[in-house]
Structure 1
Amino acid sequence: MALRKDNTNIAEDLKRRIRVLCWVMTSPQNLHVKTIHIKHTWAKRCNVVLYISSTTDKSFPTVGLNVSEGRQHLTEKTMQAFKYIYDNHYNDADWFMKADDDTYVILENLRYFLTSQSPKDPVYFGHHFGRYLKQGYLSGGAGYVLSKEALRRLIQKGNNTKICNNVGENEDLEIGRCMENIGVKIGNSSDSLGRTRFHCFTPELHLSGDYPSWFYRFDAFHGKNKGIDGISDYAISFHYVKPNHMYDLEFYVYHLRPYGVTSGHQNLNQPAH
C-alpha cells in the first residue's frame, strides 16, 4: 500500500519565511531517555535545533555549557544558552524557542501564529502566569519564543546583574523579571476565541481540566480554560509529555485523518486567530 503524500507547500513556505531556532534544555542523564525522542519527532521541523546540556556530546550532538546540572542552576543555564545562541546563531533565525526535554511543539502552528507578529518588536510569547511581576511571566515548561529584538535586549542589557538575576532555580520567573526590566513585553498568544496555544500540561489534562490547585492561582488569564472548546485548534505546545507519547502526538497531529473531512486552509494574508 502506498503511503499518503501530504501537500506541505504552505508549511514549507512558512518554514522558509518564518525562521525558528529551537533549543531544548536537557542533561546528560536525559539525553537518551527523553531528548532522543524529541530529536526523532518535532525537532526536525525547526529551522535550527540545539540541544543544550552541561556536557558536549558531538555524536548527538549537544552544546555543553559550563554550568552544573540541577534545578538550582536552571536560570544560569538558560541565560548562558541564550548567550551562546546570540553569539553563534543570531542571524540564523528570527524567532528563538526554548523548550524542555518533555515539551512537544507543533512548529507549523507556531509559524502560523507568528505570521501576525514582528521579530523587530521586543516581545515574547508563551503560557502566561499572572503572579509576582507587574506583567507576569511565561511558563518555562510550556515553552516560550523570543523575537529577535527580545533576544538582542536580553543579551545586551541582561548581563547587568542589577537588572537581571542570572542565577536561581526559578528560571521562568527570573527570565520574566529580566524581560520586564529590559522592556520586553509578554504578547497575547490566545486565539480570537480566547483559547490557549501554549500549554503547561499534557493534552489529556487540559482536556479534562483536572488541574492542580496552584495552577488556578498562577494562571490568572486562562486557568479556567479546559476541554475541546478551551484549546486552540492551532495549539503550539504541551508539557510533561512522556517519551512514548511524543510518538502518539506525532501520529495524531500528522497522520490521523477522518475520511471525508477536509480541514479548512487558512488565508495567510489574515492575522492568525
Structure 2
Amino acid sequence: MEVISSTGLHARKKREDHNSISQDVVADLEQSPSNVEVDRTHRRRRHSLTRFLRSEVGCAIETVVAFLVMGLVLGYLILHHQHRKVILHIMNDPVGHGAALKGRYGFRHHFYTGHPRSATIVLPSVVNPEKRSRRLNSISETWGPAARAVYVVHNVTEFPMASHAVLSEDKIPDDPYSYPQLMLVPDSIGADDGVPRLIYVIRMVYEKINPDFAFFVNDHTFVIPEHLCKYLENINPNDHVYHGHALKNDGIVFNSGAAGYVLSRETMKKLVHLWDAGDPLCTGTSVSKWLQGNPAILTTQCLKEKLGVGPVDTRDHKKWHRFHAFPITRMVSGDVDQWYKNKHEDMDKLMPNTDESYNTLLNGANCCSHDTVSFHYVEFAEQRALFATREALLRHPKMSDHELQSIMIKEWPNTQKEVGGYSRGLPKDGDKEQWNALLQVMRKISSRNTQGEC
C-alpha cells in the first residue's frame, strides 16, 4: 500500500482543480465567439445605424432644400411682371431707395403692388399760389410719399422734382409705386376751369390709378396718412362713399374741400358714367355761374340728386372731428372764422344720422379726434414742424410736456410771414392753459395706437 503524505495530497488536489478550470474555460471558448468577433459585430451594427441616420438626415435636408428652391422658382414665375420691374428698379438704384433717405417710411410703397388702398390727390390752392412750389416740396419731404400724393399740375415746371413721374392721358410714371407723382392737366383746361378740371382729375384717378379710395385735398392741407388708413379700414370701396367735414350752404350740405373729402371707387365710377352720358347737372352745363365756380358744391348736388349720396357725420364717437378746415393752433384755441361756425348751425336738421352736438364746434383738448386725418391752411414751414413734432412723439411717447414744448418751439415757424395769414403761431410762453391744451392734442394725434399701414 502506497502511503501519500499530506503535502503531496495537497499538491495533487491543486493540479486537479487547475486542470478542471482549464477544461471549463476551453469548453466556454468552444461554445462562444471570441471577444474580437463580438467587437467587430458591435462596430458593424453601429456603422450601419450611423449610415442609416446619416442617410435619413441627408434625405430630409435635401428635401427641404429642394422644396425651398422649388418654392422660390415658382414664386418668381408667379410674380406679376410689374413686381419684377419694381424689384429691378430698386436694384438699379439701391442707395436712392434706402430707408435712411426716406425716414421711417423707407421704401414701403415699392412693395405694394396692384391697386392702392388710397391715393391723396393734391389740387392747387387758391391761397398764396406763389408759395405753392414750397408747399409741394414740404409735402414731398413729409407726408406725401406715405399718402401716395398725386399733385395736380398744369405744367411740369410747377414741381420739376417729380418730372420723371408724370401721369397724363397718354403717359404713366416709370415707377408707379414712387410718390409724389404729377397729374398733368391738358392745355384745353385752364387754371380757372374748376369744374372741367375736377371732372378730368376724378376720371384720371378712376381710370389710371384706380384706388379703393381717393382723398381730395389741396396743397395747403396737412394729412396724416396712417389715420386716413385707419379711418378707411372697415369701409367697403364697392359702396358709395363721400366723406369729409360736412358744412351747409343755403340748405345744401357739402364736404369742405379745404378739410378734404374721400370718394370710393364705386362713387367715382358712377360719376364717370354720368359725365360720359353728358348729364347737364353733373357736367355743369345747366347750372348757374356761381355753381360752375364751385366744383365741390356742384359735385355734391350731382351725387345727391343722381345717386342719392350725401355727406355723413364722420366724427369720432359723434364728438371729435377728424377732418379740419383750419390749422391745429386755431382748432385748439377756437379762433376760427365766424362764417365757419355759421356753416355748422342746424346741421342736425339737414344731415341724417347726426344730432345737435354737430352744430357747435369744440375747442381745447376736445377739438380734434385722436385719429385726426387733416388740417388746412398749413403753410410749408408749419407742414414740416407738425410732421417733425409727430415723429418725435412717435419715437419717444413718454417725453415730458416740457420736452415736447421745447421741440415745438424749436420746430415751429416764429414769424407771421412763415406761419401764413390763415394760421396762427404757438401760444405765448405764459399762456399755460393754451399750451396744456395744445400739448394734449399733439399727444392725441401722435399715438402709436393709431398708426396703421395701408
TM-score w.r.t. the length of structure 2 is 0.51
Find the counterpart in structure 1 of residue 398 from structure 2. 259
**Higher deviation after alignment, 209-218 or 185-194:** 185-194
Find the counterpart in structure 2 of residue 97 from structure 1. 215
One-letter code aligned to 1:21: A
Find the counterpart in structure 1 of residue 248 from structure 2. 130
- Aligned-partner SS, 1:97: strand
Is residue 199–residue 238 contact of structure 1 (8 Å, CA) maintained in 2?
yes
2:203 matched to 1:113? no
- Aligned-partner SS, 2:249: coil
CA shift in 2, pair 1:180/1:36, >3 Å: same
2:264 matched to 1:144? no
Find the counterpart in structure 2 of residue 271 from structure 1. none
Aligned match for 2:315, one of 190, 209, 230: 190
Find the counterpart in structure 2 of residue 76 from structure 1. 196
2:367 matched to 1:250? no
Deviation at 1:19, TM superposition (A): 1.1
* Distance in 1 separating the partners of 2:279 and 2:325: 29
Deviation at 1:102, TM superposition (A): 0.6
Aligned match for 2:120, one of 22, 29, 35: 22
* Distance in 1 separating the partners of 2:268 and 2:118: 13
2:189 matched to 1:50? no
* Distance in 1 separating the partners of 2:208 and 2:116: 19
- Aligned-partner SS, 2:382: helix
- Aligned-partner SS, 2:162: coil
* Distance in 1 separating the partners of 2:243 and 2:118: 13
Deviation at 1:233, TM superposition (A): 0.9
Is residue 196–residue 231 contact of structure 1 (8 Å, CA) maintained in 2?
yes
Find the counterpart in structure 2 of residue 172 from structure 1. 296
Aligned match for 2:141, one of 23, 31, 40: 40
Deviation at 1:132, TM superposition (A): 3.4
* Distance in 2 separating the partners of 1:198 and 1:18: 22
How many residues get paired? 254
Deviation at 1:154, TM superposition (A): 1.4
Q: Give the helix-richer structure, 1 or 2.
A: 2
* Distance in 2 separating the partners of 1:213 and 1:250: 28
Quote the RMSD (CA, aligned, Å). Answer: 3.0
Deviation at 1:64, TM superposition (A): 2.2
Is residue 323–residue 372 contact of structure 2 (8 Å, CA) maintained in 1?
yes
* Distance in 1 separating the partners of 2:146 and 2:104: 15
CA shift in 2, pair 1:214/1:31, >3 Å: closer
One-letter code aligned to 1:98: F
- Aligned-partner SS, 2:134: helix
Is residue 230–residue 450 contact of structure 2 (8 Å, CA) maintained in 1?
no
Find the counterpart in structure 2 of residue 200 from structure 1. 325
* Distance in 1 separating the partners of 2:283 and 2:336: 30
* Distance in 1 separating the partners of 2:240 and 2:310: 6
Find the counterpart in structure 2 of residue 86 from structure 1. 206
* Distance in 2 separating the partners of 1:223 and 1:128: 13
CA shift in 2, pair 1:142/1:174, >3 Å: same
CA shift in 2, pair 1:258/1:86, >3 Å: closer
- Aligned-partner SS, 2:267: helix
Is residue 206–residue 265 contact of structure 2 (8 Å, CA) maintained in 1?
no
* Distance in 2 separating the partners of 1:105 and 1:138: 16
Find the counterpart in structure 2 of residue 60 from structure 1. 162
Gaps of 5+ in 1: 269-273
Is residue 26–residue 35 contact of structure 1 (8 Å, CA) maintained in 2?
no
One-letter code aligned to 2:373: I
- Aligned-partner SS, 1:182: helix
Deviation at 1:144, TM superposition (A): 0.9
Deviation at 1:74, TM superposition (A): 2.3
Find the counterpart in structure 1 of residue 61 from structure 2. none
- Aligned-partner SS, 2:196: helix
Matches within 5 A, 1:2-21: 19-21=117-119
One-letter code aligned to 2:234: S
2:305 matched to 1:181? yes
Cα deviation digits, residues 191-221 of structure 1 (max 9, x gap): 0151100000111111111221111221233
Is residue 126–residue 145 contact of structure 1 (8 Å, CA) maintained in 2?
yes
* Distance in 2 separating the partners of 1:155 and 1:222: 34
Is residue 254–residue 310 contact of structure 2 (8 Å, CA) maintained in 1?
no
2:371 matched to 1:234? yes
* Distance in 2 separating the partners of 1:267 and 1:248: 19
Gaps of 5+ in 2: 1-99, 164-181, 285-290, 346-357, 401-442
- Aligned-partner SS, 2:323: coil
Is residue 118–residue 214 contact of structure 2 (8 Å, CA) maintained in 1?
yes
Larger Rg: 2
One-letter code aligned to 2:205: I
CA shift in 2, pair 1:19/1:171, >3 Å: same
Is residue 143–residue 237 contact of structure 1 (8 Å, CA) maintained in 2?
yes
Cα deviation digits, residues 96-140 of structure 1 (max 9, x gap): 011101101101001111113111111111110122355x10001
- Aligned-partner SS, 2:303: helix
Cα deviation digits, residues 6-48 of structure 1 (max 9, x gap): 998xx99xx88971111111388555232121111111102x4
